[in-house]
Structure 1
Amino acid sequence: MTDTFGYLNLILQGAVVTVELTLMGSVLALVVAFAAGLGRLSRFFAVRALATTYIEFFRGTSIFVQLFWVYFVLPLAGIQLTPMQAGVLGLGLNVGAYAAEVVRGAVQSIGKEQYEACTALNLGRWQSMRHVILPQALLVMLPTFGNNAIELLKATSVVSLISLADMTFQAQVVRSQTGDTMFPFATILILYFIMASAITWAIRGLERRMARGLDGVRT
């Protein structure tokens, strides 16, 4: 029984690392998504080209390869990262590329009359985007952002390949020490499900809150 609790504690320590990776990776992905998504809508060709290149590259290559490049190849160029930093950077850039298309699509889904209203009110491009377009577009983005965050959560398992002690890494440690596959992997299966459910619950709550806020503005 003592050994079981010890192994469970080991997995829970890995769960903390997984949560940290998910939170920090999601923040980075969100920042990159807005930068690249809005970049694709820029009036300047160079900005559009740069944003498109980033999005297509990270969507078109394997996250395993990306992570290995970040952790093992960048040091050859003098950029030394810890396993946690490499994990956050790799996951954030990968998921951010997918989320960038969500941003672009949501902004483009806003009706033409909204842009015309901004023009009638003599709002500049940035003012229109900040005060009128993005608040409405964000409500469209949220459900898919939630899916992206869950995908990032599940993708954290790849960081075990660079020896970062997340849940999957710790489950493999327990398996190697005990020879038992059922206990460690059933445990992390349940933990992943609980974390994903928490993300879904948080996104739905934020969605309802934002919808009420927009309804108040419209009335």
Structure 2
Amino acid sequence: MTWTQYLPPLLKGAQITVTISLASIALGAILAFAAGIARTSSNRILSGIAFVYIVLFRGTPLLVQLFWFYYALPLIGISFDPITTGIMTLSLLTGAFGAEVVRGALLSVPHTQLEAARALNFSKSYTLWHISMPQAVIEMMPAFGNLAIQNLKDTALVSLISIADLTFQAQSMRNITLDSATVYTLTLVGYFIIALCLMLVMRFIEKKLRRGPAFPRSAHS
């Protein structure tokens, strides 16, 4: 087989890889903001739940998490198809790491600004979303960019639960053709191209945010 004959199955696998990665990044970002905000909350129950979630998923291997959701969870009557399992597990892991990024960025907002907000009798929710968050999001972007790339690389493990992603397709073709050099070189190039596109998108978003106003208009303007 020539290298061009490897492209159709690899491209098919790449589509699944991109779908899983983008979906889990989006859901992971939502979880990251929810858990990160909860960790900074004065509500001990919310903060405690977020802490347990973060420690659990940051402290256990992704491969074990995948196997637990795919093989162990069905034993108690809860099961998901492979792609849903992959997206869910990657989302939970990305959210756990992202939550610490969110928490750190929120805590980096100068305390004097929070005191000024209290002096102006702004509510906690208004202070969070209109003063702290706009500044914190800009600081989060480089770390979120790194998490997005890590998420993409982690998708290679979903092939172990029978998802025909890029890695799965590469391994299947390698087993048939024994052409390891060509197959895995094309696979590396495929992941590199996807990662490059992802980096460009994240940097574009970061630049857009940095060009925006540092502070939102006041509620009374």
TM-score of Structure 1 vs Structure 2, range by shorter chain: over 0.9
Q: Give 2:196's aligned residue.
A: 197
What per-residue deviation string (whole Å, max 9, x for no partner) do you get for residues 106-128 of structure 1?
00000012212222332100011
Q: Give 1:153's aligned residue.
A: 152
How far is the alpha carbon of 1:215 from its aligned partner?
4.5
What per-residue deviation string (whole Å, max 9, x for no partner) do you get for residues 106-163 of structure 1?
0000001221222233210001111111011000001100100000000000001001
Q: Give 2:16's aligned residue.
A: 17
Does the aligned pair in 2 maintain the 1:106–1:141 contact within 8 Å? yes
Q: Give 1:208's aligned residue.
A: 207
How far is the alpha carbon of 1:216 from its aligned partner?
7.8
Q: Give 2:46's aligned residue.
A: 47
Q: Does 1:140 align with 2:139?
A: yes
Unaligned runs of 5+ in 1: none
How far is the alpha carbon of 1:217 from its aligned partner?
5.4
Does the aligned pair in 1 maintain the 2:106–2:136 contact within 8 Å? yes
Matches of 1:95 and 1:217 in 2, distance apart?
29
Q: Give 2:4's aligned residue.
A: 5
Does the aligned pair in 2 maintain the 1:136–1:214 contact within 8 Å? no
How far is the alpha carbon of 1:211 from its aligned partner?
1.0
Matches within 5 A, 1:73-92: 73-92=72-91
Q: Give 2:35's aligned residue.
A: 36
Q: Does 1:64 align with 2:63?
A: yes
Unaligned runs of 5+ in 2: none
Matches within 5 A, 1:153-172: 153-172=152-171
Does the aligned pair in 2 maintain the 1:146–1:200 contact within 8 Å? yes
More helix by share: 1
Alignment length, in residue pairs? 217
Matches of 1:216 and 1:54 in 2, distance apart?
32
Q: Does 1:174 align with 2:186?
A: no
TM-score normalised by length of structure 2 = 0.94
Identical-pair percentage? 43
What per-residue deviation string (whole Å, max 9, x for no partner) do you get for residues 1-21 of structure 1?
6x6433210010000000001
